[in-house]
């Protein structure tokens, strides 16, 4: 098969906000305890953070990490995770029906994030709590004043403020599973008043209002409209969350998941602009896709997990080759929508629906999805260019005209490197790519990395961590994409 990809220097989408490559650590399962934090582990540092996990996180180069939830945050008292560890309360955690020891809280996590080279996307509890506790947390984290909460931080050993710039106003408040779920109007009001107090405490912060928990929520659309009508002037972003999966084992349909993500983004952006027009506002509210990933493998096993354990092995999806291709495609969609999506968080980072897996007290390995995320995060920075694909299409899962090829292109800030990310959705056919690079005529391919293989269901495990790893392909005889593969092709200017 053949396809053409047309890229032009003058057809730009947007400068990419690096926060597009964010991730997420929730107090859920073994993300924190046994994941980023395990004092007894042989690689643990002076604060009990696992060094092997830190090394893998650094490879992913995540510029921002959402914390501490997720559903967890809607029942969380942030003060429980501060100060003397010996005095911290052990609590029933209702969202995941687990036991939270509070050994890790914002005091520790801000240090972990600093060591990982990431900012924090901090969520406040708008479930059991409200504006008062949220503004106190902003004071604790960001204030230089000699007032109660800033002094509390100093007493806990942190003279300098943590400087957390971006904050989420709660989590998935539209979902009836959420602790203290709200109607859109109830949430819009609390988000508005909380936002005001948080920004009065620190005017430099940016705020994300909760959008829908996923695109098939019955309230999707009306939720965003109502919430934005209440809080438009006080927020900077609205969130999108969505997880994808292949529960019916229909790979042809699954490979088209990115089309759903694209349509979700475009619908939310249109609603933001509708409210902007309604309000005659000069301000644009952008999008924070702060939970996205593939999540379905662990659904059945999670039903067997005993309640009220510390760090139970929840949401431990083991990802295969086709998941990696889909995940790479979702990243292509985020790049192609980078004019509106400024923040995105792969949910999550370690053990819980994660690219990085550990054994508690033991080994670590990279899941299949680790690789497309790593390469896109490393090479997908700069300016997104339109990548127009001329190719055939197919029908699957009720969708028509699914393009066999999907692509994104990014030119680095110094124009030294043009990265082209491409997915081949042909299940059984290779595809030869003709790339037209207008304005970059003297750029030549220097590297072609692919996630490919015959076995769509191949996975990596602690015993066999290298079943699915990136392949280095030849660039001397044209660009050929293997069937059902994700690819990154790097172009550099030819030396005269």
Task: Looking at residues 330 to 349 of the shown chain, list those that interact with ligand AHR (rule: CB under 6 A).
Answer: 347-348
Q: What is the DSSP string of 321-382?
A: HHHHHHHHHHHHHHHHTTTTEEEEEES-SBSSS-SEEE-TTS-EEE-TTHHHHHHHHHH--S
User: According to CB under 6 A, which one of 98, 143, 171, 377 is a site residue for ligand AHR?
Assistant: 171
* 291 counts as catalytic: yes
Q: How far is the CB of 135 from ligand AHR (least distance, A)?
A: 23
Q: What is the DSSP string of 135-161?
A: HHHHHHHH--SSSHHHHHHHHTT--S-
The residue (of 28 and 481) whose beta carbon lies closer to ligand AHR is 28
Helix axes 184-201 and 131-142, enclosed angle (nearest 10): 30
Residue 132, C-beta contacts closer than 8 angstroms, at least 6 positions apart: 197
The residue (of 171 and 424) whose beta carbon lies closer to ligand AHR is 171
* Nearest in space to 387 (alpha carbons), one of 325, 424, 332, 313: 332
Q: How far is the CB of 70 from ligand AHR (least distance, A)?
A: 3
Give the Cα separation of 308 and 315 in Å (integer): 16
The residue (of 240 and 409) whose beta carbon lies closer to ligand AHR is 240
Site mask, ligand AHR, residues 352-391, x = CB under 6 A?
A: ----------------------------------------
Residues making up the chain, counted from first to last: 496
Q: How far is the CB of 352 from ligand AHR (least distance, A)?
A: 7
Q: What is the DSSP string of 363-375?
A: -EEE-TTHHHHHH
The residue (of 26 and 406) whose beta carbon lies closer to ligand AHR is 26
Contact present, 415 and 376 (Cβ < 8 Å): no
Q: How far is the CB of 349 from ligand AHR (least distance, A)?
A: 11
Give the Cα separation of 80 and 106 in Å (integer): 9
The residue (of 190 and 346) whose beta carbon lies closer to ligand AHR is 346
Q: Label the pairing between strands 286-294 and 237-244.
A: parallel
Give the Cα separation of 448 and 486 in Å (integer): 11
Q: How far is the CB of 30 from ligand AHR (least distance, A)?
A: 13
Q: Is 316 a residue that touches ligand AHR (CB under 6 A)?
A: no
* Nearest in space to 123 (alpha carbons), one of 111, 107, 108, 106: 106
Give the Cα separation of 123 and 131 in Å (integer): 13
Q: How far is the CB of 128 from ligand AHR (least distance, A)?
A: 15
Task: Looking at residues 395 to 424 of the shown chain, list those that interact with ligand AHR (rule: CB under 6 A).
Answer: none
Q: Which of 291, 316, 322, 417 is catalytic?
A: 291
Residue 72, C-beta contacts closer than 8 angstroms, at least 6 positions apart: 26, 27, 28, 93, 95, 96, 100
Contact present, 413 and 403 (Cβ < 8 Å): no
Buried b or exposed e, range 436-455, using 16+ CB within 10 angstroms? ebeebeebebebbbbbbbee
Q: Is 26 a residue that touches ligand AHR (CB under 6 A)?
A: yes
Alpha-carbon distances of 172 from 220, 232, 264, rounded to whole Å: 12, 18, 16
Q: Which of 38, 172, 316, 452 is catalytic?
A: 172
Q: How far is the CB of 213 from ligand AHR (least distance, A)?
A: 6
Site mask, ligand AHR, residues 46-85, x = CB under 6 A?
A: -----------------------xxx--------------
The residue (of 24 and 49) whose beta carbon lies closer to ligand AHR is 24
Q: How far is the CB of 295 from ligand AHR (least distance, A)?
A: 7
Residue 294, C-beta contacts closer than 8 angstroms, at least 6 positions apart: 243, 244, 245, 317, 319, 323, 326, 327, 353, 369
Site mask, ligand AHR, residues 197-226, x = CB under 6 A?
A: ----------------x-------------
The residue (of 102 and 171) whose beta carbon lies closer to ligand AHR is 171
The residue (of 172 and 202) whose beta carbon lies closer to ligand AHR is 172
Task: Looking at residues 267 to 296 of the shown chain, list those that interact with ligand AHR (rule: CB under 6 A).
Answer: 291
DSSP SS3 for 47:
coil
The residue (of 18 and 71) whose beta carbon lies closer to ligand AHR is 71
> How many helices (H) and strands (E) would you count in the chain?
11, 23
Q: How far is the CB of 38 from ligand AHR (least distance, A)?
A: 21
The contact set with ligand AHR (CB under 6 A) reads 26, 69-71, 171-172, 213, 291, 347-348
Question: What residues are annotated to the active site?
Answer: 172, 291
């Amino acid at each position: 098969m053949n396809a053409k990809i047309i890229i032009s220097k003058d057809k730009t989408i947007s400068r990419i906000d690096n926060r597009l490559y964010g991730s997420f650590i929730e107090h859920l399962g073994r993300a924190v305890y046994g994941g980023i934090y395990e004092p007894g582990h042989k690689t643990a540092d002076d604060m009990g953070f696992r060094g092997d996990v830190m090394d893998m996180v650094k490879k992913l180069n995540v510029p921002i990490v959402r914390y501490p939830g997720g559903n967890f945050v809607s029942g969380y008292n942030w003060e429980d995770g501060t100060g003397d560890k010996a005095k911290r309360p052990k609590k029933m955690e209702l969202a995941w029906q687990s036991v939270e020891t509070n050994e890790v809280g914002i005091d520790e996590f801000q240090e972990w994030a600093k060591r990982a080279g990431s900012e924090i996307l901090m969520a406040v509890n708008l479930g059991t709590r409200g504006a008062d506790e949220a503004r106190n947390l902003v004071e604790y984290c960001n204030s230089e004043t000699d007032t109660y909460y800033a002094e509390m931080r100093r007493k806990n050993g942190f003279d300098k403020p943590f400087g957390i710039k971006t904050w989420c106003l709660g989590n998935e408040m539209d979902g009836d599973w959420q602790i203290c779920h709200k109607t859109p109007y109830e949430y819009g009001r609390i988000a508005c008043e909380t936002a005001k107090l948080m920004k009065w405490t620190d005017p430099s912060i940016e705020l994300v209002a909760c959008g829908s928990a996923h695109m098939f929520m019955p309230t999707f659309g009306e939720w965003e409209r109502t919430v934005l009508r209440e809080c438009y002037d006080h927020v900077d972003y609205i969130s999108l969350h969505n997880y994808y999966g292949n529960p019916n084992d229909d790979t042809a349909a699954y490979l088209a998941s990115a089309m759903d993500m694209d349509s979700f983004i475009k619908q939310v952006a249109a609603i933001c602009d509708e409210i902007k027009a309604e309000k005659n506002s000069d301000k644009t509210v952008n999008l924070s896709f702060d939970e996205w990933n593939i999540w379905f493998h662990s659904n059945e096993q999670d039903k067997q997990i005993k309640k009220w354990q510390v760090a139970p092995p929840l949401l431990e999806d083991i990802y295969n080759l086709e998941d990696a291709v889909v995940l790479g495609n979702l990243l292509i969609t985020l790049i192609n929508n980078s004019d509106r999506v400024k923040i995105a968080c792969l949910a999550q980072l370690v053990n819980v629906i994660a690219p990085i897996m550990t054994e508690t007290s033991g080994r670590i390995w990279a899941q299949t999805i680790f690789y497309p995320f790593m390469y896109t995060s490393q090479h997908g920075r700069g300016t997104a260019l339109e990548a127009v694909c001329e190719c055939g299409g197919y029908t699957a899962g009720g969708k028509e005209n699914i393009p066999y090829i999907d692509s994104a292109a990014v030119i680095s800030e110094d124009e030294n490197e043009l990265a082209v990310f491409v997915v081949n959705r042909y299940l059984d056919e290779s595809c030869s790519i003709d790339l037209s690079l207008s304005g970059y005529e003297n750029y030549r391919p220097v590297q072609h990395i692919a996630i490919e293989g015959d076995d769509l269901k191949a996975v990596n495990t602690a015993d066999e961590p290298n079943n699915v790893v990136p392949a280095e392909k030849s660039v001397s005889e044209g660009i050929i994409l293997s069937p059902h593969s994700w690819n990154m092709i790097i172009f550099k200017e030819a030396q005269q």
